[in-house]
Amino acid sequence: MSGYFSRALAVTVLGALATTALHATEPSTRKLPSRVTFHKAPSEEAPAVREKRLKRECKGRPNAGMCAGYTR
């Protein structure tokens, strides 16, 4: 049983190495984007609204994570 397992493992490892070597020699044909633009979601809150919410929600909490700077 262990002989079968060893052969199966060897075939799997050799197949993976062959596939990796094949992909390493191919040149990349995908063109990278020249500029990335981020669009704001309609549900995104405004900075002033976020500031008020954090001050309200973080009263009395530890000054860490999301509440860092808003606990006073």
User: What pLDDT digit, counting tens, does each position of 2-57 carry?
Assistant: 666 666 656 565 666 555 555 555 566 888 878 888 888 888 889 899 999 999 99
Q: How many domains does the chain have?
A: 1
CA neighbor of 58 nearest in space, from 72, 44, 48, 46: 72
Q: What is the pLDDT of residue 48?
A: 92
Domain that holds residue 57: 46-72
The reply to whether 36 falls in a domain is: no
The reply to whether 19 falls in a domain is: no
Q: What span, in angstroms and rounded, lies between the C-alpha atoms of 3 and 18?
A: 22
**Mean pLDDT, range 63-68, rounded to an integer:** 87
The reply to whether 16 falls in a domain is: no
Q: What is the pLDDT of residue 43?
A: 84
The reply to whether 64 falls in a domain is: yes
pTM > 0.85: yes or no? no
The reply to whether 26 falls in a domain is: no
The reply to whether 59 falls in a domain is: yes
Q: What is the dihedral of CA 7, 8, 12, 15, to 10 degrees?
A: 60
Q: b/e string for 10-36 if b means 16 or more Cβ within 10 A?
A: eeeeeeeeeeeeeeeeeeeeeeeeeee
The reply to whether 65 falls in a domain is: yes
